[in-house]
Structure 1
Amino acid sequence: MTTDLGTGVIIPAITPLDEAGEVDAESLRGLLDHLLGHGAHGVFVLGTCGEFGFLTDAQREQVVATTVEHVAGRVPVLVGVSDTGTARAIAQARRLLPLGADAAVATVPFFAETGEAEIAEHFRRLKEAIGPVPLFAYENPPRVNGTSIPVPLVLDLAAEGVLAGIKDSSGDTDRLVRTLAGRDARGLSGFRVLSGSEVEAAAALRAGADGLVPGLGNVDPAGYVELMGTARTDPSGSDALQERLRSLFAMVAIPTIAPMGGSSRALGAFKAAARLLGVIAQDRCAVPSVLYRDADRDRVAALLAAHGPVPAAARTVSP
């Protein structure tokens, strides 16, 4: 493994499912080949894009085992262990990390409302349970009752050795900048700061972020790898690339035929695009997600044609 843990473009992988709603291991391997073949520096499974909250424990184990086996040490594999409470997150970690994860990623507890004291206790206990495995905090307030991990607490936990890094999916660039400034001020050079924003990725990199964790990277990993390489050296070129990716990201908000929540719409779009690209066999999402229809897929295909990789069905094969 040549990539430093917590740096570069780390794709939060979708979880391909078959018609029966079970993990499609063959498609998962194809997805991993797609990501690594286009230069991804790491893979994060069982995050929001991986639908961890809708998968059974057995399905989670299958995702991790298949990923670790197929990646075979070529890039780091980060594994989500988030759950409703600390004890459950620890149980997930003890079940999943021995399968070969390079790092664990966890949100604050969700369902019950938590404050700073509970958040600190959560991460300290989780780190104590997992031992030497690096632990990354996952900042994503909309998914956890609007709870945000205070920046000073993030830095305190980093200084204690509890946190190795943070995946910041808040979309708040000012927060990211404050985290980076605090890291520098406190001499926490080994603490990794990753941006989970698809649309502010260039700005995050220029601010000093160590890497990106973009869900849209399942569709266009090469675009984010290119952005990673040019954001600090070619501002105009990277701005143009960011604008293209922003336009492509509009797939998460297409007006679907059937009413559906934001998760069904966004993950359905990513999976539909991956299916159109020939990367996965089915674009089914885990229950209770509402599924895309053909008209929805047509809208995703139009965005791909205009702003992204060419779908497999539209490729011209040379004689």
Structure 2
Amino acid sequence: MTLEQVPLWRGVAVALVTLFAEDGSVDVRATARHAERLVASGVRAVLVAGSTGEADALSDGERVALVSAVRQACAGVPVIAGAGGAWAGPAAELTAASVAVGADAVLVPPPRRAGDLRVFYERVVSAADGRPVLAYHFPGVAGGAVPLEVLPSLPVAGLKDSTGDAERLLRLLSEWDGAVYVGSSALVSAAGLLGAAGAILAVANVAAEDCVAAWEGDAAAQLRLVGPHVAAKSGFPHGLKRLVAQRYGTSVAARMG
């Protein structure tokens, strides 16, 4: 791995929930405070406005405001901005706006009708102004697919794969030299053991300590994640919002589901 390919961080990052007020407005301050306490609990990076953050229900202005607030609240760790779009133009615009307010990297799924993925990601990389661009593979939930056979040709620094597909994880790690991040809490221990760069996890919103321990090889912690992993997938995003509220007293309001 070349110097340019060294991952921005290693270990567990949180795929941050977006907290809303009861009237449905984005509670930027509460979301940033939540990110701050998760960093204090051991997460190594924060993803803002990803699929866990109900990105599809946020305006570009709301997404940029969240990135700015979390960047200010979480000194010392990378902040990654979700920056997708239906085609290269809006994805590049959101990438540039996120970088302008302090995003250290962007996570970008391909469009559902992507066409030439290399051309799409070249435009995003240009807009990122030297910050790492991570591709995002979670087809059907966040854009389209990032095929394994296409990945080596893309100008991206890494990939988040949220499918929970263990075979695909093994192939990624054996066939590609970019930074691989799992997005399923069911694979945290395996990813750490196999040499992945890290994990970007929704469940870290409520069980950051166990996520970190599982990454470090604690089998009991991995097993403890089963409960929140299953509950968080129940009626997304409501299952996860309820878990976070039970632990931290946050709002359960959501725009999706």
Q: Give me the TM-score of the superposition, normalised by structure 1.
A: 0.74
SS at match of 1:177: helix
> Does structure 1 retain, via aligned residues, the 8 Å contact 2:88–2:120?
yes
Structure 1 partner of 2:230: 250
After TM superposition, the runs of 4+ consecutive aligned structure 1 residues lying more than 6 A away are none
**Structure with the higher fraction of residues in helix conformation:** 1
Distance 2:139 2:87 in 1: 16
Q: Give per-residue Cα distances to partners, 1:196-249, cap 9 Å, x unaligned.
A: 1111221222222111111111011111111122x2xxxxxx333212101222
Measured on the aligned residues, the alpha-carbon RMSD in Å equals 1.8
Structure 2 partner of 1:172: 165
Structure 2 partner of 1:114: 114
Q: How many residues align?
A: 252
Pairwise mapping of residues 63-78 of structure 1 onto structure 2 (< 5 A)? 63-72=66-75, 74-78=76-80
1:253 positional shift: 4.9
Structure 1 portions without partners, runs of 5+: 232-237, 255-264, 291-319
Distance 2:133 2:9 in 1: 10
Amino acid across the alignment from 2:225: L
SS at match of 1:152: coil
Q: Give per-residue Cα distances to partners, 1:176-211, cap 9 Å, x unaligned.
A: 11111123xxxx4xx211111111221222222111
Identical aligned residues as a percent: 26
Q: Using a 3 Å threshold, how does the CA distance of structure 1 residues 4 and 175 change in structure 2: closer, same or farther?
A: closer
SS at match of 1:194: strand
Distance 1:141 1:125 in 2: 21
SS at match of 2:135: strand
Amino acid across the alignment from 2:39: L
Structure 2 partner of 1:267: 237
Structure 2 partner of 1:100: 102
Q: Give me the TM-score of the superposition, normalised by structure 2.
A: 0.91
Distance 2:30 2:163 in 1: 30
Q: Give per-residue Cα distances to partners, 1:43-101, cap 9 Å, x unaligned.
A: 000100111110112211211111111113x1000111111111110111122211001
Structure 2 portions without partners, runs of 5+: 1-5
Distance 1:88 1:148 in 2: 18
Structure 1 partner of 2:3: none
Amino acid across the alignment from 1:114: A
> Does structure 1 retain, via aligned residues, the 8 Å contact 2:231–2:239?
yes
Q: 2:252 is matched with which residue: 283, 287, 300?
A: 283
Amino acid across the alignment from 1:177: L
Amino acid across the alignment from 2:150: L
Bigger radius of gyration: 1
Amino acid across the alignment from 2:165: D
> Does structure 1 retain, via aligned residues, the 8 Å contact 2:108–2:136?
yes
